[in-house]
Amino acid sequence: MYKLLIADDEANVRAVLSKMIDWGDLGFSLEGTYGDGAEIIDYLQNDMPDVIFTDIRMSSVSGIDVAEYIQKHKLPSRVVLLSAYQEFEMAQRGIRYNVKDYLLKPLDLNVIENTFRHIKAELDEQNDHKKLTDRAKQIVADLLNLNIEQAREGFHQAMDDLKTANARFRSRVIYDIFTSIENEMKAGGLETLADTMSIFNFTLFLSMDRPESLREYGDRIFDGLCTGYAEQSENAKDLLARAKRYICSNLNKDINRKETADHLYISTAYLSRLFKQHTKETFAQYTTRKKIEKAMEMLQNPGMRIYEISGSLGYMTPRYFSRLFKAHTGMNPGEYRAAFCLGGNEAGVNQKNLP
């Protein structure tokens, strides 16, 4: 049920509108009737009706004022204006404030019912579109996180949502979903899976009238993605190993994601995803951890000064290096060296499992 408010300064009009029309049958729940627009605006402070059916002229705050308030505050409520006579100037103002409809008194219940049937159909379509948009976003998100079977389930749910939809609209929505998936995969660095998607002709969706055909072709795509994922997983392990080797070979530099990604011919987004999914660390966390481990080794050599160690690890200033070292080990480099020199590895720092 969609929420409806009625406002008119004539009590008999409010009575007719509330009692002579079966709002429930039209898909609306009448939440209240009011004698002035000011009461409607008060209501809007705490709740949000889907439609406001209001007289255009009222003693204090008019229906036009209500429409203006709704547009100014970007509220989703729709306004239907009611007037005792044609008022061209007022109607023009209503159009400016996105008034949904403009009905004339004396009341014609058939016209009112038809108007609200049309509004309900539009609200239904709007809700369906939002639900499908949210569903499509979730499918794309699942695939970017390589949750392929979960994404397939989301596709099946989208198909269920579209059971009663117009065939052309249904085909277009499914086409848009798969096109978005391919584009996001390319942008996210999932080249192998994007290549798998490119094998399929998405325009075929647009020529399919039967839901069964759409579901069958969609499942074929997901089956292909499962195969591509297996290949991508092996490729991912190799890329991650190469990224780690590159980092460890360049600890003397201020190494960054772009440089590493360029070396591997992949996107920075995909490189970040590789580290997060397979190491539970970000690229920066892994790189810093390796530099601190290297620093701990170098501090065992009393012949190396701390500023030399800092520079050899690509840090611009010893102060920043010392602060970073302490954040990871609990002591600054000088304290760590003193503790190490005095008592072996009595510093209590596990070099293999830095945080």
Map 186-244 to HEC letters: HHCCCHHHHHHHHCCCHHHHHHCCCHHHHHHHHHHHHHHHHHHHHHHHHHHHHHHHHHH
The pLDDT of residue 53 is 95
The pLDDT of residue 353 is 43
Cα gap 256→166, rounded to integer Å: 51
The residue ranges of every structural domain in the chain are 2-107, 126-232, 281-355
Residue 353 in 3-state DSSP? coil
Residue 15 in 3-state DSSP? helix
80-110: per-residue pLDDT in tens?
A: 988 876 665 666 566 665 677 778 778 889 9
The pLDDT of residue 163 is 82
Confidence of residue 270 (pLDDT cuts 50, 70, 90): confident
The pLDDT of residue 322 is 92
Report the DSSP pairing between strands 28-34 and 101-104: unpaired
Residue 138 in 3-state DSSP? helix
**Type of residue numbered 162:** L
Contacts of residue 39, Cβ cutoff 8 Å, sequence gap at least 6: 7
Contacts of residue 178, Cβ cutoff 8 Å, sequence gap at least 6: 197, 200, 202, 205, 218, 221
Q: Is the pTM of this model over 0.75?
A: no
The pLDDT of residue 233 is 63
Strand order in the sheet with 51-55: 28-34, 2-7, 51-55, 78-83, 101-104
Q: Helices marked H in 73-166 — which ranges?
A: 88-96, 109-144, 148-161
The pLDDT of residue 85 is 65
Nearest CA among 254, 330, 319 for reference residue 288:
254
178-192, 202-216, 303-317: which range is least confident on average? 178-192
Domains 2-107 and 281-355 are alike in CATH topology: no
- What are the Cα distances from residue 312, in Å, to 218, 224, 253, 260? 54, 48, 8, 19
C-alpha 169, offset from chain centre? 23
pLDDT of residue 252 exceeding 80, the answer is yes
Q: Helices marked H in 2-62 — which ranges?
A: 11-19, 23-26, 37-44
CATH superfamily of 2-107: Response regulator (3.40.50.2300)
Cβ-based burial of 303 (10 A; exposed 0-12, middle 13-18, buried ≥19): exposed
Instruction: Name 3's bridge partners.
Output: 29
Cα gap 324→332, rounded to integer Å: 9
Mean pLDDT for the stretch of residues 326-337: 90
Cα gap 244→237, rounded to integer Å: 11
The pLDDT of residue 347 is 44
Between 83 and 117, name the one with better pLDDT: 117
Residue 153: count other Cβ atoms within 10 Å of its Cβ: 14
Confidence of residue 78 (pLDDT cuts 50, 70, 90): very high
291-301: per-residue pLDDT in tens?
A: 999 999 998 88
Between 265 and 321, name the one with better pLDDT: 321
Residue 168 in 3-state DSSP? helix
The pLDDT of residue 343 is 53
- Fold of domain 281-355: Arc Repressor Mutant, subunit A (1.10.10)
Contacts of residue 107, Cβ cutoff 8 Å, sequence gap at least 6: 13, 16, 17
Answer whether 4's CB lies under 8 Å from 49's CB. Answer: yes
Residue 129: count other Cβ atoms within 10 Å of its Cβ: 12
Residue 21 in 3-state DSSP? coil
